[in-house]
């Protein structure tokens, strides 16, 4: 499957890479923290999905707000329209949490088993971190072999960050 050049350019933008990675780590960390006590009932999965969405929106707003303040400091923030554009630029973080949200909602609605969905979400997000690392490495001109190594290292780093987050929470 060949990825169109326009899509590759969008995926290689720093805000898309940042949001994608942050969203995948956030989703995994939230699922780990919310399911830490072994609650696997369908209602619990709906609760988890709701909190994941709330946390993702809050994180996107916090990042957008921080970018806004930082841009105001150097005089590059052009009013309300610019502020809205900065906030809208956080869409990759939200999009990256959607697959996990759908997995949790599906478990809550009975589309699939509720028990163990956190492992599926974790595996999916680690694969997503691998893909983001691979994409960034390829966009920077690395060979496929080097990009695969970078993707594996990024996935491993993601596992470490998610486990650390889960232990802290």
Residue 89: name the closest of 106, 77, 105 by CA. 77
pLDDT at 82: 76
Per-residue model confidence (pLDDT) at position 71: 77
Contact call for residues 130 and 58 (beta carbons, < 8 A): no
Looking at residue 3, its pLDDT comes to 56
pLDDT per position in the chain (169 positions), as tens? Answer: 555 666 556 656 788 888 989 999 999 988 888 876 777 888 889 999 999 999 999 999 998 888 888 877 676 666 777 778 878 888 999 999 999 999 999 999 999 998 889 999 999 999 999 999 998 898 888 999 999 999 999 999 999 988 887 777 6
SS3 readout for 77-114: CCHHHHHHHHHHCCHHHHHHHHHHHHHHHHHHCCCCCC
pLDDT at 98: 96
* Residue 4: per-residue pLDDT: 64
Q: What are the structural domain ranges in the chain?
A: 12-168
| Predicted TM-score of the model (pTM) | 0.85
What is the pLDDT at residue 70? 81
């Amino acid at each position: 499957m060949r990825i169109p050049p326009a899509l590759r350019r969008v995926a290689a933008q720093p805000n898309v890479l940042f949001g994608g990675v942050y969203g995948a780590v956030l989703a995994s960390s939230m699922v780990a923290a919310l399911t830490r006590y072994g609650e696997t009932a369908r209602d619990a999965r709906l609760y988890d999905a709701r909190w994941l969405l709330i946390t993702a929106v809050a994180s996107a707003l916090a990042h957008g707000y921080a970018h806004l303040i930082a841009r105001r400091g150097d005089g590059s923030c052009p009013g309300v329209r610019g502020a809205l554009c900065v906030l809208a630029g956080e869409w990759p973080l939200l999009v990256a949490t959607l697959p996990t949200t759908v997995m949790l909602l599906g478990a809550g609605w009975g589309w699939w088993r509720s028990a163990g969905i956190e492992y599926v979400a974790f595996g999916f997000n680690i694969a997503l971190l691998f893909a983001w690392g691979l994409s960034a490495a390829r966009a920077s001109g690395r060979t496929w072999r080097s990009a695969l190594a970078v993707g594996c290292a990024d996935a491993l780093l993601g596992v470490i960050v998610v486990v650390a987050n889960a232990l802290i929470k």
